[in-house]
A and B are shown apart, each in its own frame.
Chain A
Amino acid sequence: MEIAVVGSEEFVVGFRLAGIKKVYAVTPDKLLDTIVKVLDDQAVGILAVHTPDLDRLPAQLRERMMESVNPVVIPVGVEEGDMRDKVRRAMGIDLYKSR
């Protein structure tokens, strides 16, 4: 399986340097379609997305990405990620609060 990266040209160029083949440099208006396409790609195991881009997506898609296990979506550029809400919902308390 492969690693995929979706985001602006400035965000993805470094990942291309690291040898990632599935790198999608997109403009904000193409972001949604590209992410949906990558989420449906069976060959992708990990999808890295820039956090500000993630905030621009519709809540429903964000939720789908948060729940997705294949591929796993890793937001890059933030210290908490999408796990905080999920943990709070399942455990009933905010375990990230101490940080």
Chain B
Amino acid sequence: MREIQPTRSELLEVTRKIRLTQNGHKILKLKRDGLILEFFKILDQAKDLRLEIAKRFREASEKIAIASAVDGVIAVRSASYALTGHPEIQLRSRNLMGVVVPEIKSSKIVAPIYERGYGIIGTSPRIDEATDAFEKLVETVVKAAELETTMKKLLEEIERTKRRVNALEFRVLPDLEEIERFIRFRLEEMERDNIFRLKRIKGKMAKAAEA
């Protein structure tokens, strides 16, 4: 506080900074609220997908356990090694309130039995069912990946924006207002000093004129 020059130009500069900070604070608060709204839009979908993953995994695990028990682990493994198609994913990005979030597109995951690569007659329906269940699980995992990445990025941005809003509200603005108060006080003090000095000079001049 001691380095601040209590001048009118400094006061104008501080007042300008306060206005700028207040504007920034308002805009950041709007951004934070917008991000929170976007976050709430996808939160329920993400929760549902998470439940779906757990459900599909339970189903798929049951089916593969039955296939392994009835047809044997070797049969299941050999079918899994015979597969020809492999799903791939493409990552694209889109902008959501200034946050770059991914869009995940996958190549066909659920394939008909005749496209899987293992012989239709060579495997049992139990292995086919297990494959089907796992393909659906992978499809859900891909959907969840997109949503969860979006959620993670939004949460990071919300946290960052909240920190900025709080810093402006509780640190930067109060400091600037304190400086403004200090300069105003000092200027008033200097003005009072000046008036008092002028009055004394006037008194002295009046006395000198009388004498």
Interface residues of A (CB under 8 A from B): 1-3, 13-21, 45-46, 48, 67, 69-70, 72, 74, 76-81, 83, 86-87, 89-91, 95-96, 99
Contacts and interface: CB of A to CB of B under 8 A. Distances in A.
B158 A96 contact: no
B148 interface: yes
A96 B46 CA distance: 11
Contacts, number: 124
A74 B141 contact: yes
Contacts of A89: 159
A80 to B, nearest CB: 6
Contact of B130 (A17, A86, A91, A95): A17
Contact of B91 (A1, A14, A74): A1
B135 interface: yes
A79 B134 CA distance: 17
Given A80-B50, A83-B46, A19 B57 contact: no
A20 B138 contact: yes
B151 interface: yes
A86 B131 contact: no
Interface in B38-54: 39, 43, 46-47, 50-51, 53-54
Interface in B51-66: 51, 53-54, 57, 60-61, 64
Interface string B161-173: 0100000000000
13 contacts: A16-B80, A16-B83, A17-B130, A18-B131, A18-B137, A19-B85, A19-B135, A45-B104, A46-B142, A70-B91, A76-B57, A76-B137, A91-B155
A18 B134 contact: yes
Chain B facing A: main interface SS: helix
B17 interface: no
Contacts of B85: 19
A11 to B, nearest CB: 9
Interface size class, chain B: 35 or more
A79 B127 contact: no
Contact of B152 (A69, A79, A80, A99): A69
B53 to A, nearest CB: 6
B89 A17 contact: no
Contact of A18 (B54, B61, B109, B156): B109
B11 interface: no
Contacts of B50: 78-81, 83
A10 B61 CA distance: 9
B134 A14 contact: yes
Most buried by B among A3, A70, A79: A3
A16 B80 CA distance: 5
Contact of B155 (A17, A87, A96, A99): A87
